[in-house]
Amino acid sequence: MDSRLSGRIAVITGASSGLGKATAIRFANSGARVVCSDLKSVGVEDEINKQHGKDRATFFECNVGVESDIEALITHAATWGGRVDIMCNYAGIAAETAHGIAHGAAPRCHDFPTSGFDQTMTINCRGVWLCCKYALKQMLAQEPREANARGERTRGWIINAASMLGLVGLANTPAYTTSKHAVVGMTKQMAIDYAQDRIHINALAPGFVKSPMIQTYLDDPGTETALAASHPWNALGRPEDVADAALFLASDEAAWISGHSLVIDGAYTCQ
């Protein structure tokens, strides 16, 4: 445990599993109070409160495909915590996985349903954009935090979940790869617009991580071995690997970093 995020209020979408759950726990262990958000609670907030004491975490149901849900989430967080210091946009889907299971083959663009593309862009891109929008409104309205080592008073930190597939392509992911490239682009654009307000806006670009999003691949030992071997590190990532990277980007150690996509991929994109 450490105190790098002591006193800060963090909002995390997709917090009920995988990268979001690991980040919620990591942030709480580093002193933050955490708003865990997802379609349903699996008790992450209770786990945090049991370890750190009452009122360290709360849950708020939110579908990032619904704008009013996102606005209500930020309002709740600001009311519960008094402000919003950190926004982690982790909620996402990989529609190609479900399509491949249903049809017995991974899709290419010509045989992937337009509805799957629209759903992917709604959650992975529009949802991130809207979470940024309402978090930014709140951060601009609140007083900046105390000065850091650079003598600057930061208004907030936004961390978007991109992917290594926001930097490179991968076969049979026509919607997912598109959505993650969009997240990398919006992160860069927003970082420029809000640098003057001292709001850090960065992204995470993980490789294949052992999480529910790729569980169907993990269920097949041969496929899991092949996925691990596709990374020069010859191992899959852990949600905790991504959570530790998020902690760095949300801390004062990243005081002069904005607009960056931090790659956590066991050297996959070096190939």
Structure tokens at 109: 């663009």
- 3-state secondary structure at position 147: strand
* Dihedrals phi, psi of 165, to nearest 5 degrees: -80, 5
Q: Give me the sheet containing 33-38, strands edge to edge.
A: 57-61, 33-38, 9-13, 86-89, 156-161, 199-206, 261-264
- Listing DSSP states for 52-67 in one string gives H-TTSEEEEE--TTSH
| C-alpha closest to that of 230 among 211, 204, 207 | 207
Q: Which helix (H) or strand (E) holds 2?
A: none
- 3-state secondary structure at position 222: helix
Question: Is 268 known to be catalytic?
Answer: no
Residue 123: DSSP 8-state: I
**Catalytic one among 176, 194, 217, 268?**
176
Using CB atoms within 10 A of its CB, is residue 36 exposed (0-12), middle (13-18) or buried (19+)?
buried
Bridge partners for 157 per DSSP:
86, 200
Residues classed as catalytic:
176
